Each structure stands twice: as structure tokens, then as C-alpha cells.
Amino acid sequence: MTPEFDEREPRAGVNASGMDTTHLRSGFCIYIDTLCQGAVPAVSDGERYTVFETELEAQKEIADHLMTRLRQFLEGERDFEDAITTEEFVVPVTVHPDGVITDENGGCFSVRVE
């Protein structure tokens, strides 16, 4: 009886679905939840999404943004509730050779910020 699928072990650098994984890199993006699109990357340089090397680096970016908002509250430029509320969160991502970002929930985001 012939198996319906290939039972061989995948080659090094190739996952079970045959995708080349040798040039994938891991990182972390800062996301926000949106009504229409769900969770999406929120931080970019205007052209590309920012991928942080470590989770701590991404968390520090969120903390820095929060401190800026708190300073704005202290200077009378922002409401208290707005200053202390953060919608950002860190998500582990995979960056593909073409720059596409994917996350563990199946999100797939283009190289360019739209």
C-alpha cells in the first residue's frame, strides 16, 4: 500500500510543507487591535514595519511611548485616561526573505506599510 503523503524526513532548512526556512528570521513587532483588521503591526518607519530583535526591546519601546504620553499629561497636553491607557502589545513574528511578516495567528503583512 502506498502512503498518500510523503513520509520522508524534511531536508535541513525545509519545513514539512516544503518551504525554505534557511533565510527566515524571528523577531517581535508591536501590534494593536483594530475593529476591521484585528491585530496588526503598529510601529513602522513610515515605509516598513519595525521588527525588534528581542521581546524586551519591543517592550521598552512601548514603555517609552507610554512615558511620553505621561509627560504630555503632566504638561496639560493630554487627558489622564488617554495618557495611562496603552493598546500596544508585543507579538512574536517571522520575517521572510522578501520582507513579509507572519505571526502565530496566521497574520501576514506586506513589506510596505499601507
Give the per-residue pLDDT at 65. 96
pLDDT tens per residue, range 11-40:
445 554 455 567 899 999 999 999 999 999
Q: How many other CB atoms are there within 10 angstroms of residue 1's CB atom? A: 3
Which among 62, 41, 33, 53 is positioned nearest to 114, based on CA atoms? 41
Give, for 38, the enclosing helix (H) or strand (E). strand 38-41
pLDDT tens per residue, range 48-71:
899 999 999 999 999 999 999 999
Give the per-residue pLDDT at 79. 97
CB of 44 closer than 8 Å to CB of 113: yes
Is pTM, for the whole model, over 0.85? no
Give the per-residue pLDDT at 19. 55
Domain positions in the chain: 43-109
Half-sphere exposure of 31 (CA within 13 A, CB side): 23
- The pairing of beta strand 25-34 with beta strand 108-109: unpaired
